[in-house]
């Protein structure tokens, strides 16, 4: 059933102004490199495999590069908006696409809520700012909403400045470790199998894959890029290589600064203060304070990036009428999905209000639970897309065996393993042993299945035919 796209003012196209560098800034910022190094690496070392953390990042990077090979091939063929939702629609069909849409909403809305809570927590608990945490979280969301309503080009420029600052300072930290330790900083034990798979390697690999959350969002900006068939694949490769190299090298230098034998014990003892304390010792208290400040800006950069991705998924689903169609409205001046942006910001404020009114802790409850669900959603998204890539190109008997079969299958195998690790270690990821919290991943999976069943219920209707229809390549119609 062919479906004509309507352009009634509510479903107009988004503005196409993005080049490769801007998309890279948008997606790398979502991974919050500084927050990952300050918060995630010590936890991974202390609760996971100690000095073997860099090896876990290496495995995650190789896995996601393999995934990106098939993903980039899809991006060159399917150049409309919709991101993973669009790819799964073409590779696995409409019910799977509806399930993927639920994954996307869980992943990115959960990430936005976690980051908003993190801003309030770090400013009040760590930074000593007066007043309740929720006020600062709400303030961050308000600024996010104001930028999200504008053209995405403005967000890209803001994120470029923030990202360059945080990566620049961590590179200074890496160089300081090299200056202090010399060749001893390169601890090869970090990549020995006996070290990588020591302790609780499942925890380390889970955090390693979770640290890449957001890099896969390049395709969601396809409609706003000048040449999506070229910019999206380039931005994807650039993002995964930049994030992976940065994580691997900085975690390696952290192990080098501590010593392989002391990495685990020191991380357990100092936790989130580990990198800050090392920075203070190597570069002085002024640099340590600057690093603490940049943690806040890194959180905001990731917040804005995740918000942009989430609102664009809502926009695509509104256009396909899986959610209220008014969410597909485009701002007449900025060519932005302003209605979806406002709805996403409103949802985040509602989540903050619920946690604040119940007296929940912003970090131990809001941040950890929602970020855990976000990690699960992102890994499921990537896994479904890897399978969709293989199916899509095999149906077309594509001769590029490595690009469209071998590499995606390797990536898919790694992502299936990552999904199992997230489910098995959700208590560590969410910092909770509450039965209610531990049941949340299975509730999320039930919602994903419900999304597929809802699509099946629509079979034979115009709404069913619209699912993913704008993603169909010109020679395939609505197949």
pLDDT confidence band for 2 (50 / 70 / 90): very low
Q: So what's the pLDDT on residue 477? A: 38
Measured CA to CA in angstroms, residue 424 lies from 40, 53, 420 at distances of 18, 19, 6
Contact by Cβ (8 Å): 288, 84: no
Q: So what's the pLDDT on residue 447? A: 93
The answer for residues whose C-beta is within 8 angstroms of residue 259's C-beta and 6 or more apart is 187
Contact by Cβ (8 Å): 65, 240: yes
Burial class (CB in 10 A: 0-12, 13-18, 19+), 194: exposed
| Terminal Cα-to-Cα distance of the chain (whole angstroms) | 8
Token pair belonging to 243: 């994030």
Among 421, 56, 27, which residue's Cα sits nearest to residue 237? 27
Measured CA to CA in angstroms, residue 229 lies from 132, 232, 305, 473, 475 at distances of 46, 6, 22, 12, 15
Q: How many CA atoms lie within 13 A of 395 on its CB side?
A: 11
Axis crossing angle, helix 228-258 with helix 20-30, rounded to the nearest 10? 40
Q: What is the pTM of this model?
A: 0.85
As a residue count, the chain comes to: 479
The answer for residues whose C-beta is within 8 angstroms of residue 156's C-beta and 6 or more apart is 18, 22, 23, 25, 26
Among 460, 457, 478, which residue's Cα sits nearest to residue 469? 478
Token pair belonging to 136: 């600062």
Residues 424, 422: Cα–Cα separation, whole Å = 6
Q: So what's the pLDDT on residue 4? A: 41
Query: How many other CB atoms sit within 10 Å of the CB of residue 316?
Result: 28
Model confidence pLDDT, tens digit, residues 117-142? 999 998 998 778 899 999 999 999 99
Among 82, 154, 133, which residue's Cα sits nearest to residue 304? 154
Q: So what's the pLDDT on residue 471? A: 52
Model confidence pLDDT, tens digit, residues 225-257? 778 888 888 888 988 999 999 999 999 999 999
Look at phi and psi of residue 210 and say left if phi exceeds 0, alpha if psi is from -120 to 50, else beta: alpha
Among 261, 36, 270, which residue's Cα sits nearest to residue 170? 36
Q: So what's the pLDDT on residue 62? A: 93
Residue with tokens 């008997």: 397
Residues 471, 96: Cα–Cα separation, whole Å = 14
- Residue 225: strand pairing partners: 18
Contact by Cβ (8 Å): 58, 211: no
Mean pLDDT within 83-108? 89
The dihedral built from the CA positions of residue 44, 50, 51 and 56, taken in this order, carries a sign that is negative
Q: So what's the pLDDT on residue 109? A: 93
Token pair belonging to 172: 């200074």
pLDDT confidence band for 9 (50 / 70 / 90): very low
Residues 50, 158: Cα–Cα separation, whole Å = 35
Contact by Cβ (8 Å): 311, 111: no
Contact by Cβ (8 Å): 302, 210: no
Residues 401, 420: Cα–Cα separation, whole Å = 27
Alpha helices in 360-434 (DSSP H): 368-395, 401, 407-424, 426-430
Q: So what's the pLDDT on residue 12? A: 56
Token pair belonging to 274: 């580990």
Q: Which helix (H) or strand (E) holds 30?
A: helix 20-30
Residues 249, 294: Cα–Cα separation, whole Å = 19
DSSP state of 186: -
Q: Does the structure show a pLDDT above 80 at 222?
A: no
- Residue 18: strand pairing partners: 225
The answer for residues whose C-beta is within 8 angstroms of residue 322's C-beta and 6 or more apart is 98, 101, 455, 463, 467
The residue that leads in pLDDT, 33 or 475, is: 33
Token pair belonging to 237: 């490769």
Token pair belonging to 220: 């969601």
Model confidence pLDDT, tens digit, residues 391-427? 999 998 889 899 899 999 999 999 899 888 888 888 8
Burial class (CB in 10 A: 0-12, 13-18, 19+), 33: buried
What percent of the chain has a predicted confidence (pLDDT) above 90?
37
Domains, the chain, in order of start with CATH, read 20-471 (1.20.1740.10)
Residues 207, 60: Cα–Cα separation, whole Å = 10
The residue that leads in pLDDT, 134 or 325, is: 134
The per-residue pLDDT of the chain, averaged, comes to 86
Alpha helices in 259-284 (DSSP H): 260-270, 274-283
Query: How many other CB atoms sit within 10 Å of the CB of residue 332?
Result: 9
DSSP state of 18: B
């Amino acid at each position: 059933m062919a479906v004509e796209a309507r352009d009634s003012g509510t479903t107009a196209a988004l503005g196409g102004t993005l080049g490769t560098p801007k998309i890279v800034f948008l997606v790398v910022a979502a991974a919050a490199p500084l927050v990952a190094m300050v918060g995630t690496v010590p936890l991974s070392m202390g609760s996971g495999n100690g000095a073997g953390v860099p090896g876990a990042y290496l495995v995650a990077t190789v896995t996601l590069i393999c995934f990106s090979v098939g993903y980039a091939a899809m991006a060159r063929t399917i150049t409309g908006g919709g991101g993973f939702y669009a790819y799964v629609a073409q590779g696995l069909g409409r019910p799977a696409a509806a399930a993927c849409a639920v994954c996307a909403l869980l992943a990115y809305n959960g990430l936005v809520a976690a980051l908003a809570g993190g801003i309030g927590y770090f400013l009040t608990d760590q930074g000593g700012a007066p007043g309740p945490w929720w006020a600062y979280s709400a303030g961050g969301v308000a600024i996010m909403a104001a930028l999200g309503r504008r053209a995405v080009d403005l967000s890209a420029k803001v994120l470029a400045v923030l990202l360059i600052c945080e990566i620049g300072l961590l590179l200074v930290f890496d160089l300081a470790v090299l200056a202090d330790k010399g060749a001893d900083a390169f601890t090869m034990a970090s990549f020995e199998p006996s070290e990588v798979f020591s302790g609780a390697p499942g925890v380390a690999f889970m955090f390693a894959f979770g640290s890449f959350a957001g890099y896969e969002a390049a395709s969601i900006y396809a409609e706003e890029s000048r040449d999506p068939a070229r910019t999206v694949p380039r931005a994807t490769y650039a993002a995964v290589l930049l994030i992976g190299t940065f994580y691997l090298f900085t975690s390696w230098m952290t192990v080098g600064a501590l010593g392989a034998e002391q990495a685990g014990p020191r991380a357990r003892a100092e936790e989130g203060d580990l990198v800050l304390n090392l920075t203070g010792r190597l570069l002085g208290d002024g640099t340590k304070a600057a690093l603490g400040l940049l943690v806040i800006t890194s959180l905001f950069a990731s917040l804005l990036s995740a918000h942009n991705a989430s609102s664009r998924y809502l926009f695509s689903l509104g256009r396909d009428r899986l959610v209220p169609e008014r969410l597909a409205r485009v701002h007449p001046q900025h060519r932005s999905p302003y209605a979806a942006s406002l709805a996403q910001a409103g949802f985040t404020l509602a989540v903050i209000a619920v946690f604040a009114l119940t007296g929940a802790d912003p970090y131990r409850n809001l941040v950890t639970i929602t970020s855990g669900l976000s990690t699960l959603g992102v890994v499921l998204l990537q896994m479904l897309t890897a399978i969709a890539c293989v199916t899509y190109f095999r149906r077309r008997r594509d001769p590029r065996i490595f690009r469209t079969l071998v590499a995606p299958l390797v990536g898919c195998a790694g992502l299936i393993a990552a999904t199992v690790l997230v489910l098995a270690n959700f208590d560590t990821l969410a910092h909770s042993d509450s039965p209610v919290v531990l049941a949340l991943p299975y509730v999320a999976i039930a919602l994903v299945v419900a999304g597929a069943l809802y699509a099946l219920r629509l079979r034979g209707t115009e709404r069913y035919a619209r699912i993913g229809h704008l993603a169909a390549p010109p020679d395939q119609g609505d197949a």
